[in-house]
A and B are shown apart, each in its own frame.
Chain A
């Protein structure tokens, strides 16, 4: 699968991993902007803007965008995170020109007053929808507690208050600054006609005005232990989220961190699974590693009867302590490594999954990693790497913990 890259004069990167025999073409714009690039006054703008991009350009109404996507049989959507806003379409190869043209035009939305007012209502519904669902906001509260004054403390959706207070002019200004060509990547995977992709990018995006780059990184404050409670009197279970520090995206240890999390807290066959899920003591008990540009997190999630939460959290810390003390066995290490290697191969054969890997890694680090490269990294890891990561980033160290459930404050 060859990798191809071209940079336009205005700074827009065009990248592709091409597999000519693929049945589909995945194409997407990766905008290097998310909730961490907002201020308190702009809280939730990145995600709200992602919705507004589907509401049309000055010469293309939102209804027409939706009709065109459906008419080309596209599986198309967008998502916003703390650090990225991604728009994508997965189409049959013959639809590449139309998909690229539509997505490119969408990147210069009209941001009309009346659409802004209507879509604001949709965003408020989305906030309430998540607030009604487990873990009832405990994950966002926990991140806010962990990051304190750092920009990563802000949730992606914003709050009812921040969205209600947001003026459309602020969004227009944010779009102008953040959707600059040097801050975006056009990526494609699958059966890609790369020369046509670059030509289309020149024609459709070549006149986008460059903007000065903004500094995104900010020192992360040292983690302090904290504990907080969200009261949901009628909840059947209690949902606990615990966050402690882990390696960030710049650290070579992040691969070992993911494997460590697989050994300890994968959704099946892990230490937490056998201790709590298999025995029916908890509905869920898991550990994940999550990385940002300049920060990393180990996230423990537990859901169980509220009476059991405290004792189970204690037992989880004991399991973490054992692992750090060199307790990962050769067999469980091999099992986790084979599992992760198999995931790399299986997800690697789907162009749609590759789009997010290829586009995301280029947007963050200007690197390309093939499936074979990713596999080599997994296969090079050793048990010592996991023990070293567990010692460097102690899972039993200072952590933010938030519980959401029926127990009274």
Chain B
């Protein structure tokens, strides 16, 4: 399949990435500034999230309301999100609207007004979101797992803690944006029906004269506890567990994600078969993979009625334990087929491709072609996956449960 990828770097360090997708009318764009929650600082959790929200509340010559009206009148499906690593401003639209949308995004990224009279509303919005999360057991258990497994600040929830958010002020937001929304480390990715030369020209005009000082390094702290129970008034107990896995930029991440897909990635996976199909223990059970640039985790999750939660955890642990030495050729073929068809089908979505090329650049410093990725999946074998499992079998697990009663975790796995 023919693939048309572009990249360019501006003098100030902004990376521009593009992919032309044949046969689509749409274009998706994403601005990723290196202003993620890892820069929040002690006692200031939620600062990146509050700052990202404040960027939308007035920028350049527009009020917050005018920003939204300008984007939506151009039919832009916009979104804003803050992760550990980035503050992201994205949009998908019919391609002819891109020239109208770009100056609005340039204002948001470069010229936020940060009006004091909007700070309280923005804070309340962040607090409302936190209250909503408190009522969502699945969200809470995964937040707790990341917090325990990854070293601070990489596991700290980007949405913040209520007590911290209540104390943040306008000066903290202004300082945060001045320090972290900066050209070096910013990625602008575009995919769909694009005219690359025209795009680069427009971005240069809007961002070429942007300058900023040096970036602050992030100090990585200690990890959280290995075992935890979060009391929650629910009929179901949710259990999530994690162990360390190679980050995405490591070549072995393909073996790791393949092993995890065999464990719990599809309806023919081991966890789905043993926990749900054979025993009917739960509705949701899966395994997955989450990565930062320097470390990643393999994870498992299930939610089930309190009385059957212990058995669910026991079966999950037994399946994880059984994984090394038992991978079959048929399982590897299924994983490869799913990964490859997923990659090909991603080419139908402008937003998915804009996200994928930006993610690859952040993790790898380059974009992998589809052909490279397909070839890498072709090199997956039973032996290569087994070799990875033998070198780093699942051990030293982080386990969190959420519900009315705590669960027993066997010593051998948690020690």
Contacts and interface: CB of A to CB of B under 8 A. Distances in A.
Interface of A: 21-24, 54, 62-63, 66-67, 69-76, 90-92, 95, 117-126, 128-129, 131-134, 232-237, 268-269, 274, 277-284, 303-305, 331, 334-336, 338-339, 341-343, 345-346, 349-351
Contact of A342 (B76, B337, B348): B76
Interface in B1-26: 1, 22-26
A13 to B, nearest CB: 26
Given A71-B337, A125-B283, A268 B127 contact: no
A72 B233 CA distance: 42
A338 B73 contact: yes
Interface string B128-146: 1101101111100000000
Contacts of A343: 77
B72 A269 contact: yes
Contacts of B93: 342, 346
Contacts of B69: 269, 331, 335
A269 B68 CA distance: 6
Contact of B120 (A23, A75, A280): A280
Contacts of A122: 276, 280, 282-283
Interface in B57-74: 64-65, 68-69, 72-74
Interface in B172-190: none
A263 to B, nearest CB: 11
Contact of A125 (B124, B127, B305, B334): B305
Nearest to A280: B124
Contact of A74 (B282, B284, B341, B344): B341
A336 B97 CA distance: 16
A232 B341 CA distance: 44
B136 A346 contact: no
A120 B280 contact: yes
Interface residues of B, number: 76
B280 A279 contact: no
B205 interface: no
A264 to B, nearest CB: 14
Contacts of A133: 135-138
Nearest to A284: B132
A133 B232 CA distance: 12
Given A237-B135, A280-B128, A342 B75 contact: yes
Interface string B259-282: 000000011110011001111111
Nearest to A190: B348
Interface of B: 1, 22-26, 64-65, 68-69, 72-78, 92-94, 97, 120-129, 131-132, 134-138, 232-236, 266-269, 272-273, 276-284, 303-305, 330, 333-335, 337-342, 344-345, 347-349
Q: Lowest 9 CB-CB distances: which A-B pairs, in order?
A: A280-B124, A342-B75, A73-B341, A121-B280, A73-B337, A283-B128, A66-B268, A236-B134, A118-B280
Contact of B345 (A75, A126, A303): A75
B338 A73 contact: yes
A279 B268 contact: no
Given A22-B348, A132-B236, A342-B76, A280 B122 contact: yes
B342 A350 contact: no
Contact of B121 (A126, A280, A345): A280
Contact of B268 (A70, A123, A234, A338): A70
B304 to A, nearest CB: 6
Nearest to B334: A70
A318 B267 CA distance: 49
Given A24-B345, A134-B132, A268-B68, A62 B75 contact: no
Nearest to B68: A269
Nearest to A120: B280
Nearest to A51: B283
A237 B137 contact: no
B132 A278 contact: no
Nearest to A76: B267
B125 A280 contact: yes
A22 B26 CA distance: 15
B134 A21 contact: no
B92 A334 contact: no
B263 to A, nearest CB: 13
Given A125-B283, A339-B77, A346-B93, 6 more contacts: A92-B344, A118-B280, A280-B122, A280-B126, A342-B93, A346-B77
Contacts of B303: 125, 129
Nearest to B24: A349
B268 A341 contact: no
Contacts of B78: 268
Contact of B25 (A234, A237, A345): A345
Contacts of B305: 124-125, 128
A336 to B, nearest CB: 8
A234 B233 contact: yes
A281 to B, nearest CB: 7
Contacts of B341: 24, 72-75, 91-92, 95
A91 B344 CA distance: 10
Given A133-B137, A237-B131, A350-B349, A121 B273 contact: no
Contacts of B137: 132-133
A129 B131 contact: no
Contacts of A67: 268, 330, 334
A133 B97 CA distance: 39
Contacts of A279: 121, 124-125
Nearest to B277: A62
Nearest to B132: A283
B344 A23 contact: yes
Contact of B94 (A90, A125, A345): A345
Nearest to B303: A129
